[in-house]
A and B are shown apart, each in its own frame.
Chain A
C-alpha cells in the first residue's frame, strides 16, 4: 500500500473537485479536501477494507491571513496502525464563516482536539457536543493563535523598547 495507491483510490472515489493538493512531504502524503467532504472522507478511510485509517493522531488549526477566503485551516493527522502508514488531510475555511463539521461522531479523541482548535483559532466545529474554550480563560474575547494578536503580556512595564526592541 503506497502513497500513490491511496491518492488514486481517493481520487477515484471522490473526484478531483473534492480531493486536491496532493503532495508528498518527507514521505508523508498530504491531501486537501473541502468542508462538505471531510466527514464522508474520514468515514470512508476508517471503513476502507485495506487502508484502515482508524487512528486520529492529531488535529490542529492553522491561520494564513493572506489567503483570502481560505484564511483558517484544519489539519488532520491520520494513522493506519495496521499498515503503519500516515496521512495528512487538510481543509481551509474563510475566517468570516469558519464552520467545519465535527469529527466527534467518529473519534472520541476529536473532542478536546477540536475544542483546542476552537480556543486557539475560533474554528467553529458544527455539531460538537461541548464547544467551549479549553486552555484559555473562559472570558477571553479573541482567538490568541491568530497571527494578528500579540504574544506578549500587555501589562508589563519593565520591558522598555530601548532594552527589548519592541
Chain B
C-alpha cells in the first residue's frame, strides 16, 4: 500500500497566488459535501443484496466518503432506494423523503425503483419518480456494485456543482409542488 500515491481531490477553479487560494463559496461547500455524503439505504429486495456487496470489503463504498450509513433520515443526504416499491410501501418512501433535510438527493437503484422493472402489476409502484423527485437512475436488474458506485459518483458530481441557492429557487419549489411536497 505504501508505495501507492494518495489521490487528492482536485481543487475547484479559482484564483491562486502566493499563500492564498480564492474560490467561490459554492464550490468549496460543494467539494466538502460531495466527499462526505451520508446515504440512507432504503433496501427492500434483491437490489438491496447488491448494495450489501457494495458496502462490504470488495467494493467498499467507504472510498467515496460514505461509509457512514445514516439509518436516520434526519442526518442523511442521499436516499438510495434499492428494490421493488409496492404501492403499500409508497407512503413510507415518501415519508422518509420528507423527513430528510435539504439538500437531499435521491438515487433510484435498479429497474424496479426506476420504472417498476419487470413487475408491471397492480401492486407495484411504477417507478419511485411518481412520488418523489429522483436525481440519478441506475439501470440493471440488479445493477452490479460497480454500477451502483457509478450512480453514486454521479450524485457526487451533482453535489459538487450545486449552487448553494438552488434549493431556494422557484424552479425547485415548483418541482416539489408538482409532487405535492411543500
Binding partners A and B: yes
Given contacts A136-B123, A144-B122, contact A153 B88 (CB under 8 A): no
Contact A155 B88 (CB under 8 A): no
Contact B88 A151 (CB under 8 A): no
B121 at the interface (CB under 8 A from A): yes
Type the 1/0 row for B115-136, where 1 means its CB is closer than 8 Å to any CB of A: 0100011111010000000000
Contact B88 A137 (CB under 8 A): yes
Which residue of chain A has the shortest Cβ distance to B90 in the bound complex?
Answer: A137
- A contacts with B, residue count (CB < 8 A): 13
Question: What's the Cα separation between A144 and B121 when bound, in Å?
Answer: 10
Question: What's the Cα separation between A149 and B123 when bound, in Å?
Answer: 13
Given contacts A151-B121, A156-B120, contact A136 B126 (CB under 8 A): no
Provide the residues of chain B in CB contact with A135, threshold 8 Å.
123
Residues 97-149 of B contacting A (Cβ, < 8 Å): 116, 120-124, 126
B87 at the interface (CB under 8 A from A): yes
* Chain A binding surface, main DSSP class: loop
Question: What's the Cα separation between A154 and B116 when bound, in Å?
Answer: 13
Question: What's the Cα separation between A135 and B124 when bound, in Å?
Answer: 12
Type the 1/0 row for B82-96, where 1 means its CB is closer than 8 Å to any CB of A: 000001100000000
Contact B121 A152 (CB under 8 A): yes
Contact A156 B123 (CB under 8 A): no
Question: What's the Cα separation between A150 and B121 when bound, in Å?
Answer: 9
Contact A136 B88 (CB under 8 A): yes
User: A150, A153, A154: which contacts B124 (Cβ < 8 A)?
Assistant: A153
Contact A154 B122 (CB under 8 A): yes
Question: What's the Cα separation between A154 and B122 when bound, in Å?
Answer: 7
Which residue of chain A has the shortest Cβ distance to B124 in the bound complex?
Answer: A153
Provide the residues of chain A in CB contact with B116, threshold 8 Å.
153, 156
Output the least CB separation between A63 and chain B (Å).
16
A68 at the interface (CB under 8 A from B): no
Extra contacts besides A153-B124, A153-B126 (14): CB < 8 Å: A135-B123, A137-B87, A137-B123, A144-B122, A149-B122, A151-B120, A152-B120, A152-B122, A153-B116, A153-B121, A153-B122, A154-B122, A155-B126, A156-B126
Residues of B in contact with A (beta carbons under 8 Å apart): 87-88, 116, 120-124, 126
Q: What are the 10 A-B residue pairs with the smallest beta carbon separation, nearest first?
A: A137-B88, A152-B120, A153-B126, A156-B126, A151-B121, A153-B120, A144-B122, A153-B122, A137-B87, A136-B123
